Amino acid sequence: MPTAPHLFSYRRHWAHKLGPAPELPMSRAEMDLLGWDACDVIIVTGDAYVDHPSFGMAIVGRLLEAQGFRVGIIAQPNWTSAEDFRRLGRPTLFFGITAGNMDSMVNRYTSDRRIRSDDAYTPDGESGRRPDRSVLVYAQRAREAYGDVPIVIGGIEASLRRIAHYDYWSEKVRRSALVDAKADLLIFGNAERALVELAHRLAKGEPIETIRDLRGTGFVTRGAAEGWTEIDSTRLDEPGRLEAHPDPYQSEPACDSAPSPDATGTLPIRFHRRPRHLDRARTVVRLPSFEQVRDDPVLYAHASRVFHLETNPGNARALVQRHGERDVWLNPPPIPLTTEELDRVFELPYSRRPHSAYGEARIPAWEMIRFSVNITRGCFGGCTFCSITEHEGRIIQSRSEGSILREIEEIRDRTPGFTGTISDLGGPTANMWRLACKDPKIESACRKPSCVYPDICPNLGTDHGPLIRLYRKARQVSGVKRVLIASGLRYDLAVRSPEYVRELVTHHVGGYLKIAPEHTEAGPLSKMMKPGIGTYDRFKALFDRYSREAGKEQYLIPYFIAAHPGTSDEDMLALALWLKRNGFRPDQVQAFLPTPMALATAMYHSGKNPLKRVTRTSETVSVVRRLKQRRLHKAFLRYHDPENWPLLREALKTMGRADLIGNGKRHLVPAFQPPGTGKSPEGRRKPVGTAPGGTTPMHPAPRARKSR
């Protein structure tokens, strides 16, 4: 793995002498109280400002403050003019623009493209406080406010839109956010390393247009880069005469045998699949241009595959994509933080509460996580519908045991309303803490999209012993009565450690445990890169056994996704029958939502499978696009709701399964219709939003009840 300077090794900027602010200022009056004449960095965010390490603007702001910079926050500004962007004056270094903890389009719209009625990241859950595609709008207004101040965009929205991407809401391929925002720099993934180095270099007088070597950043450029070897990946492999072009899918140079001289002693000319001895650090892969992927969905799938092969910071190469007459250049991903660095980031002097300007207003996202502790970053699951890997990477970054226990004590001592229950010890995945590849060299060379699909990699360490000991120590902290685990659980990993399941079930489940099989059928599961339902059955057997031994009545709540690429009507029917057979009645469900840059989104847009080599004749994927079919797939999950019965009866007859219509136990839906029901095929319940508190847009876990 390449190395990077320690995050806290830089000489601090002069303003460190002012000390940390009780909370980062959101007004000129607060700046005056702190004795500031200006901010060095102003962060513009689509979320309310909560000074807590679960919120990106707080981490970025406190980290830059620790480096000696004065940081102000403009939270949820009025974007109809530039006036609100002048609230804190002109920043001396740059504007940092983020949509917030979620992509603004996922935040505002359901999978049926309907506007959500609330926003968990806004005071009192009020909706409509951020614009569509917030990064673009905020960047434009910041430029209008101070045209000569550098604009740096980042966060989940910019990160997932860093190349040409399919936009579900406009149903077209859009340009890189860099181009549309007219930003000077884009920081993708976990931004700490790039942001700290950028701030220090700008403070030393380096123009931002010359800073082109930061990992985890993208920028717009013109012309070829000197000293770089370019691999052309703008074409598909097609039948016909073999042409000498590098293979972007291959991880190492091809080992061609040495040619033999002919009768005259002359060596023949040989074409190699790719040049030998390429310096990966000076190699850039050229993706199909924006215009190509905009007009050709198959090339879009090919570009998505190539892009996802360059996500491991140990071996990723730079990427470049033409947009008109300019190139969008993406440097390799950032180097993951060490445990020591991550500890220090999470132990910065956060107030751990919303800014005082909000008064008594409720911020639902903060209320959900204020008693929880984030113990990891990253996820090596690689689920195709999820964007964690694209944003946080698949190398797990873990905090130390001591740092986690100190945060529990801080929650106990400083968080209002604490009654003794820690609501979660988790992260993107509950049980990946301290799990890693057994060999760092293998980890640096690996290009697999998942460490657990199609099976758990033999090189992956799966020892849950350290996590068990952490749970036990957390329960022993004075003043802590209970520690729950609410983050998503990889049950395929958990079954490798029955002792972990015993510990979890005995002490850390509050009656119900949500897990995500996502489906029961092999077709959709293979496109999700999720384990088969048999793994769920093995976990359930352990869960039930240890619940009985603990004398507790506890239930698993599996949740599922409808209308995912690769899912047929027959697959959804099989899932509905499984749900009924096992006595599950999901209350709220979600259809697949194509988020920018996800592999499943490439499947949805192109009808091709980018998990394999993409050609004109390669594997096709069935896609659910029509609104009626998407409603049908959701209706199968809510087979018990009378509002869905007319739609299901119609579908069952069309599918030749009218035998499932009737009033017996073997039937899926009854033949009768209760008065006053069945008028709306969508049901009466409003769609729900993404669960707040994380940094990645994912479908929500539905609430369900187990029938008895």
Please tell me whether residues 486 and 565 are part of one structural domain. no
Sign of the CA dihedral running 235, 240, 244, 250: positive
Residue with more model confidence, 239 or 345: 345
Please tell me whether residues 457 and 556 are part of one structural domain. no
For residues 48 and 30, give the distance between their C-alpha atoms in angstroms, rounded to a whole number: 17
Say which residue the tokens 């409808």 belong to.
562
Q: Could you count the other beta carbons within 10 Å of the beta carbon of residue 259?
A: 10
Q: What is the pLDDT of residues 167-198, one digit of tens each?
A: 999 999 999 999 999 999 999 999 999 999 99
Statement: residue 652 has pLDDT above 70? yes
pTM of the full structure: 0.90
Statement: residue 693 has pLDDT above 50? no
What CATH number did the domain enclosing 104 receive?
A: 3.40.50.2300
358 in a domain, yes or no? no
Please tell me whether residues 370 and 504 are part of one structural domain. yes
Statement: residue 267 has pLDDT above 70? no
Please tell me whether residues 600 and 483 are part of one structural domain. no
Please tell me whether residues 557 and 504 are part of one structural domain. no
239 in a domain, yes or no? no
573 in a domain, yes or no? yes
494 in a domain, yes or no? yes
Q: Where a domain ends, among 186, 204, 220?
A: 220
pLDDT band at 680 (very low <50, low <70, confident <90, very high): low
Q: Where a domain ends, among 508, 537, 560?
A: 508
| Strand 326-330 to 217-221 pairing | antiparallel
Q: What is the pLDDT of residues 447-459, one digit of tens each?
A: 999 999 999 999 9
CA of 382: how far to CAs of 290, 374, 396, 438, 453, in Å? 25, 20, 12, 19, 8
CA of 557: how far to CAs of 148, 207, 483, 514, in Å? 53, 54, 19, 5
Q: What is the pLDDT of residues 390-432, one digit of tens each?
A: 889 999 999 999 999 999 999 999 999 999 999 999 999 999 9
637 in a domain, yes or no? yes
Statement: residue 654 has pLDDT above 90? yes
Q: What is the pLDDT of residues 39-83, one digit of tens each?
A: 999 999 999 999 999 999 999 999 999 999 999 999 999 999 999
Number of domains in the chain: 3
Position 237 scores a pLDDT of 60
Which range marks the domain in which residue 501 is found? 338-348+363-508
Please tell me whether residues 380 and 440 are part of one structural domain. yes
Q: Where a domain ends, among 188, 220, 252?
A: 220
Please tell me whether residues 606 and 483 are part of one structural domain. no
Task: Tell me the pLDDT of the chain averaged across its residues.
Answer: 91
CA of 595: how far to CAs of 33, 139, 390, 699, in Å? 42, 21, 11, 10
705: left (phi over 0), alpha (psi -120 to 50) or beta: beta
Statement: residue 696 has pLDDT above 50? no
